[in-house]
A and B are shown apart, each in its own frame.
Chain A
Amino acid sequence: MGWAIALHGGAGDIPRSMPPERREPREAALRHCLQIGVDAIKAGRSPLDVVELVVRELEDNPHFNAGRGSVLTSNGTVEMEACVMVGDTKKCGAVSGLTTVKNAVSLARLVMEKTPHIYLGFDGAEQFAREQGVETLDSSHFITPENVERLKQAKEANKVQIDYTQPIQRVEEEEESASLPNGDSQIGTVGCVAVDSSGNLAAATSTGGLVNKMAGRIGDTPIIGAGTYANSLCAISATGKGEAIIRATVGRDVAALMEYKGLSLEKAAAYVVGECAPIGTVGLVAVSANGQVTMPFNTNGMFRACATEDGYTHVGIWQD
């Protein structure tokens, strides 16, 4: 038993050759967010509060594909989505198609707490945001020069890009890396899961989606049981290729394996990541009610960090 927290900044084909000026700010951000989360848990904040504030921090950071720094749709706009879920009640909230809301994860929480619904999208979600008085900004706030360039390259390559952390490769190189059958891949999502020392669990995920995605495209992040899930056994936040995560119902399956087959958190997560989705498509962070944590991925890398009450911490990008 004991508390535990884990967070991610996206799984995908993250090249080890990533130059220090790109790697260091991201590592620093992971450490910073982990610290914020740990301090909050130690201060007795609920897991829901903890995952929300960590994901808000990741959204505000332009180096990750969520909130500011979100990748762009084919129209050059941002459409952000997020989801939160609380383990003991399985209450949840989700939003999609946000264009001006500074922190999508917080709006998802408001959907859960202030409406009779679970999921609001697009204009309806933006309208709700205004009614709730959440912070909204002109969409230009979310758009970074890096992502404008990325979109330009994607259009030139005339495809949807899987991995936003590196420039578009030439076609020949593309075939070597994780290939992109239907283009419905999602990387650079951010997420956080937490459990307190009483075993209460929560999960939150947030994203800008896919570079050059069609306007209106929804990925796995706001789909309960796919990119985000929590029940009384565990909490999961997934990242990677949206289509693969949806069809493998990744979040729900980790919990289902624990529940129906009695697997441990680590084994359940390893099974889902290893056997239920193709190589190069998924990574996740998960914690269990008894304070365990696991962060498996079948991609090249996953920006991640975790800490447990007994003092263990880890920040990483590639397989150790």
Chain B
Amino acid sequence: MGGWAIAVHGGAGVDPNLPNQRQEQAKQLLTRCLNLGISALRSSHSAIDVVELVRELETDPLFNSGRGSALTAEGTVEMEASIMDGCGRRCGAVSGVTTVKNPISLARLVMDKSPHSYLAFSGAEEFAKQQGVEMVDNDYFITEDNVGMLKLAKEANSILFDYRIPTLGMESSCSAAVENPLQMNGLPISIYAPETVGCVVVDSQGRCAAATSTGGLMNKMAGRIGDSPMIGAGTYAGELCGVSCTGEGEAIIRGTLARDVAAVMEYMGLGLQEAVDYVIKKRLDHGFAGMIAVSSKGEVAYGFNSIGMFRACATEDGFMEVAIWE
């Protein structure tokens, strides 16, 4: 046991009819990011530095973070992210970011350079200016694909998690999903795949870290904050493990998913994979989500109860996997 390990994800809940070309693109992006992380780990970079590679996932428009983020009901982008260093459990988070090219790096600056651990909206933007991070117009983050998706979501008059995912027990067709949304919090909502991105790392010193970044829900209310910037929900890292979650934000928050993985390890002595399985099985009441996790012992694990999760992982002893489906 021991040694480094790394995992990255591009979201839980994937359209079974996703065109092969897009599946390949996703796998290539995940592989590229994984390899970046692996070289950094081989050069003995610390876990907290390595997880910041989420920047690469933000910059690429493929997934729902940074460029390529889902749009609010107003057609704008509001991004959020969080990062946690298992060493000392320091953390940083941002929400409502509209002009900062890499929200995860801003979250890191909140952790390292501010007296606080979470900044949002114009306060976060102000801090970004002071820190001199790269800033762009909100348009930069908006892709044609997502403008189209938003229109569809509004037509369905529902929060769109992912219109391409069929509801359970129905034929896979877009219209079926849109016409027959599931209920969530008593309001109509479709099963979704928000394609949040994340990374978890344990370095060769056994230090864990986690990072998560997202544009949030398609057609969300302006000002809506999800699980990604919420320590204990979408992101957590402690002495024993690092966890990043993705899926139905509200369910992840209620289940305090990321913290629970660590809590069952700490308080019930479960191993990493057992803990992940336990949390996915027992902590997601009526919700769909997935997660990646690493342990201080150099293990990597993932779990999801959705249809598919974009993921890639590797450990120092040579194990490597890039996958989408079960």
> Do A and B truly interact?
yes
Chain A residues within an 8 Å CB radius of B297: none
Instruction: Tell me the nearest residue of chain A to B223, going by C-beta.
Output: A124
Determine whether B268 belongs to the interface, using a CB cutoff of 8 Å to chain A: yes
Please tell me which one of the listed residues B127, B254, B263 contacts residue A214 in the complex, with CB atoms under 8 A apart. Answer: B127
Chain B residues within an 8 Å CB radius of A160: 115
Q: Is the beta-carbon distance between B224 and A253 smaller than 8 angstroms? A: no
Q: Is the beta-carbon distance between B232 and A120 smaller than 8 angstroms? A: no
C-alpha gap A246/B110 in the complex (Å): 14
Segment at the B interface, from A2-10, A51-59, A221-229: A221-229
Q: Is the beta-carbon distance between B127 and A256 smaller than 8 angstroms? A: no
Is the contact region of chain A dominated by helix, strand, or loop, or is it mixed? Answer: mixed
Instruction: Tell me the nearest residue of chain A to B158, going by C-beta.
Output: A116
* Best-surrounded residue of B221, B223, B259 (most CB of chain A within 10 A): B223
C-alpha gap A120/B256 in the complex (Å): 18
Chain A residues within an 8 Å CB radius of B136: none
Q: Using a CB-CB cutoff of 8 Å, which residues 243-299 of chain A contact chain B? A: 243, 246-249, 252-253, 256-257, 260-261
Q: Is the beta-carbon distance between A124 and B221 smaller than 8 angstroms? A: yes
Q: A117-B224, A226-B231 are in contact. Are A90 and B119 (CB under 8 A)?
A: no
Determine whether A115 belongs to the interface, using a CB cutoff of 8 Å to chain B: yes
Q: A115-B221, A120-B225, A253-B263 are in contact. Are A223 and B114 (CB under 8 A)?
A: no
Task: Give chain A nearest CB distance to B112 CB in angstroms.
Answer: 10
Q: Is the beta-carbon distance between B123 and A215 smaller than 8 angstroms? A: yes
| Binary per-residue interface labels of chain B (230-242) against chain A in the complex, 1 for a CB within 8 Å, 0 otherwise | 1111001000000
Q: Using a CB-CB cutoff of 8 Å, which residues 74-107 of chain A contact chain B? A: 90-92, 94, 96-97
Is the contact region of chain B dominated by helix, strand, or loop, or is it mixed? Answer: mixed
Q: Is the beta-carbon distance between B122 and A216 smaller than 8 angstroms? A: yes
Q: Is the beta-carbon distance between A218 and B118 smaller than 8 angstroms? A: yes
| Binary per-residue interface labels of chain B (130-148) against chain A in the complex, 1 for a CB within 8 Å, 0 otherwise | 0000000000000000000
Determine whether A128 belongs to the interface, using a CB cutoff of 8 Å to chain B: yes
Q: Is the beta-carbon distance between A219 and B118 smaller than 8 angstroms? A: yes
Task: Give chain B nearest CB distance to A183 CB in angstroms.
Answer: 3
Number of residue pairs spanning A and B whose beta carbons lie under 8 angstroms apart: 167
Instruction: Tell me the nearest residue of chain A to B230, going by C-beta.
Output: A223
Determine whether A127 belongs to the interface, using a CB cutoff of 8 Å to chain B: yes
Please tell me which one of the listed residues A97, A249, A253 contacts residue B120 in the complex, with CB atoms under 8 A apart. Answer: A97
Task: Give chain B nearest CB distance to A289 CB in angstroms.
Answer: 17
Chain B residues within an 8 Å CB radius of A119: 224-226, 230, 253
Chain B residues within an 8 Å CB radius of A213: 116
Q: Is the beta-carbon distance between A246 and B115 smaller than 8 angstroms? A: no
Determine whether A242 belongs to the interface, using a CB cutoff of 8 Å to chain B: yes
Chain B residues within an 8 Å CB radius of A242: 116-117
C-alpha gap A97/B122 in the complex (Å): 10
Chain B residues within an 8 Å CB radius of A216: 96, 119-124, 126-127
Determine whether A45 belongs to the interface, using a CB cutoff of 8 Å to chain B: no
Determine whether A62 belongs to the interface, using a CB cutoff of 8 Å to chain B: no
Chain A residues within an 8 Å CB radius of B222: 123-124, 127
Task: Give chain B nearest CB distance to A101 CB in angstroms.
Answer: 13
Chain B residues within an 8 Å CB radius of A217: 116, 118-119, 123
Determine whether B322 belongs to the interface, using a CB cutoff of 8 Å to chain A: no
C-alpha gap A118/B268 in the complex (Å): 29
Determine whether A182 belongs to the interface, using a CB cutoff of 8 Å to chain B: yes
Chain A residues within an 8 Å CB radius of B96: 121-122, 124, 216
Please tell me which one of the listed residues B126, B220, B223, B230 contacts residue A224 in the complex, with CB atoms under 8 A apart. Answer: B230
Task: Give chain B nearest CB distance to A139 CB in angstroms.
Answer: 15
* Best-surrounded residue of A94, A127, A247 (most CB of chain B within 10 A): A247
Q: A123-B222, A124-B224, A261-B267 are in contact. Are A243 and B250 (CB under 8 A)?
A: no
Chain A residues within an 8 Å CB radius of B117: 182, 184, 242-243, 246-247
Determine whether A125 belongs to the interface, using a CB cutoff of 8 Å to chain B: yes
C-alpha gap A224/B222 in the complex (Å): 20
Q: Is the beta-carbon distance between B221 and A120 smaller than 8 angstroms? A: yes
* Best-surrounded residue of B222, B225, B255 (most CB of chain A within 10 A): B225
Task: Give chain A nearest CB distance to B220 CB in angstroms.
Answer: 7
C-alpha gap A231/B267 in the complex (Å): 18
* Best-surrounded residue of B226, B256, B285 (most CB of chain A within 10 A): B256
Task: Give chain A nearest CB distance to B14 CB in angstroms.
Answer: 22
Q: Is the beta-carbon distance between B223 and A125 smaller than 8 angstroms? A: yes
Q: A243-B116, A252-B263, A256-B260 are in contact. Are A215 and B122 (CB under 8 A)?
A: yes
Determine whether B21 belongs to the interface, using a CB cutoff of 8 Å to chain A: no
Q: Using a CB-CB cutoff of 8 Å, which residues 256-287 of chain B contact chain A? A: 256, 259-260, 263-264, 267-268, 285
Q: Is the beta-carbon distance between A214 and B119 smaller than 8 angstroms? A: yes
Q: Is the beta-carbon distance between B250 and A116 smaller than 8 angstroms? A: yes
C-alpha gap A218/B233 in the complex (Å): 16
| Binary per-residue interface labels of chain B (203-233) against chain A in the complex, 1 for a CB within 8 Å, 0 otherwise | 0000000000000000011111110001111
Chain A residues within an 8 Å CB radius of B249: 118
Q: Is the beta-carbon distance between B116 and A117 smaller than 8 angstroms? A: no
Chain A residues within an 8 Å CB radius of B123: 214-217
Q: Is the beta-carbon distance between B233 and A123 smaller than 8 angstroms? A: no
Q: A119-B225, A225-B233 are in contact. Are A247 and B119 (CB under 8 A)?
A: no
Q: Is the beta-carbon distance between B232 and A225 smaller than 8 angstroms? A: yes
C-alpha gap A223/B232 in the complex (Å): 9
Instruction: Tell me the nearest residue of chain B to A253, going by C-beta.
Output: B263
Segment at the A interface, from B31-39, B164-172, B184-192: B184-192
C-alpha gap A219/B90 in the complex (Å): 14
Chain A residues within an 8 Å CB radius of B118: 217-219, 223, 246
C-alpha gap A119/B221 in the complex (Å): 10
Further pairs besides A124-B96, A184-B117, A257-B267: 5, Cβ < 8 Å: A96-B225, A249-B256, A252-B232, A252-B263, A260-B268
Smallest CB-CB A-B distances: 6 pairs = A124-B223, A216-B123, A183-B115, A260-B267, A215-B123, A124-B222
